[in-house]
Amino acid sequence: MEYISQIAFLLVLAVATYFITKRVGTIKNNIQLGRDTDRSDQKGRRWKNTFLIAFGQKKMFKKFIPAFLHLLIYAGFLIINLEVLEFIIDGIAGTHRIFAPILGSTYYSAAINIFEFLAVAVLFSCVVFLIRRNVIRVNRFKALKGWPWLDANLILIIEIVLMIAILTMNATDQLLQGRDDHYVQTGAFFFSGFLIPLFENMSVGTLIFIERFAWWFHIIGILGFTIYITYSKHLHIFMAFPNTYFARLGPKGRMNNMEDVTTEVKSMLGIDTGATNGEPPAEVARLGAKDATDLTWADLMGAYSCTECGRCTAECPANITGKKLSPRKIMMDTRDRISEIGENIKKGKTAEEGSPLFSEQYITDEEINACTSCNACVEACPININPLDIILQRRRFMAMEESSSPQSWNSMFQNIETNFAPWKFPPSDRFNWANKLNEEK
Chain segment 71-97, per-residue pLDDT in tens? 898 888 888 877 888 888 988 888 888
Is the pLDDT confidence value at 43 over 70?
A: yes
Give 2's pLDDT tier (boundaries 50, 70, 90).
low
Is the pLDDT confidence value at 267 over 90?
A: no
Asked if the structure places residue 207 within a domain, the reply is yes
Asked if the structure places residue 187 within a domain, the reply is yes
> Looking at the DSSP assignment, which residues form a beta bridge with residue 437?
none
Asked if the structure places residue 376 within a domain, the reply is yes
Tell me how far apart the alpha carbons of residues 192 and 190 are, in angstroms, rounded to a whole number.
6
> Looking at the DSSP assignment, which residues form a beta bridge with residue 35?
296
Residues 97, 202 within the same domain: yes
Of the chain, the end-to-end C-alpha distance in Å amounts to 102
Tell me how far apart the alpha carbons of residues 85 and 219 are, in angstroms, rounded to a whole number.
10
Q: Which domain holds residue 320?
A: 285-408
How many helices (H) and strands (E) would you count in the chain?
A: 18, 0
pLDDT computed for residue 423 by the predictor = 83
pLDDT computed for residue 275 by the predictor = 55
Tell me how far apart the alpha carbons of residues 258 and 300 are, in angstroms, rounded to a whole number.
18
Is the pLDDT confidence value at 430 over 80?
A: no
Residues 181, 69 within the same domain: yes
For residue 427, which phi and psi values (nearest 5 degrees)?
-55, -30
| Total tally of structural domains belonging to the chain | 2
Asked if the structure places residue 278 within a domain, the reply is no
Asked if the structure places residue 422 within a domain, the reply is no
Higher-pLDDT residue of 78 and 176 is: 176
Give 364's pLDDT tier (boundaries 50, 70, 90).
very high
Max CA pair span of the chain: 103
Cα–Cα–Cα angle for 286, 292, 297, rounded to 5 degrees? 90
Residues 379, 241 within the same domain: no
**Average pLDDT value for residue range 18-39:** 95
Give 153's pLDDT tier (boundaries 50, 70, 90).
very high
Residues 18, 89 within the same domain: yes
Question: Residue 188, Cα to own-chain centre: how many angstroms?
Answer: 39
pLDDT computed for residue 277 by the predictor = 55
Give 339's pLDDT tier (boundaries 50, 70, 90).
very high
Tell me how far apart the alpha carbons of residues 320 and 377 are, in angstroms, rounded to a whole number.
12
Asked if the structure places residue 235 within a domain, the reply is yes
Is the pLDDT confidence value at 115 over 60?
A: yes
Instruction: Among 214, 245, 276, give the residue marking a domain's end.
Output: 245
What is the domain-level CATH number for residue 307? 1.10.1060
Q: Which of 46-50, 211-215, 288-292, 416-420 has the lowest mean pLDDT?
A: 416-420
Residues 238, 294 within the same domain: no
Residues 389, 334 within the same domain: yes
Asked if the structure places residue 163 within a domain, the reply is yes
Asked if the structure places residue 36 within a domain, the reply is no
Residues 211, 305 within the same domain: no
Give the predicted TM-score (pTM) of the model.
0.87
Question: Residue 262, Cα to own-chain centre: how many angstroms?
Answer: 33
Percent of the chain with pLDDT over 70: 96
Q: Select, from the ranges 82-86, 193-197, 346-350, the one with the highest average predicted confidence (pLDDT).
A: 193-197
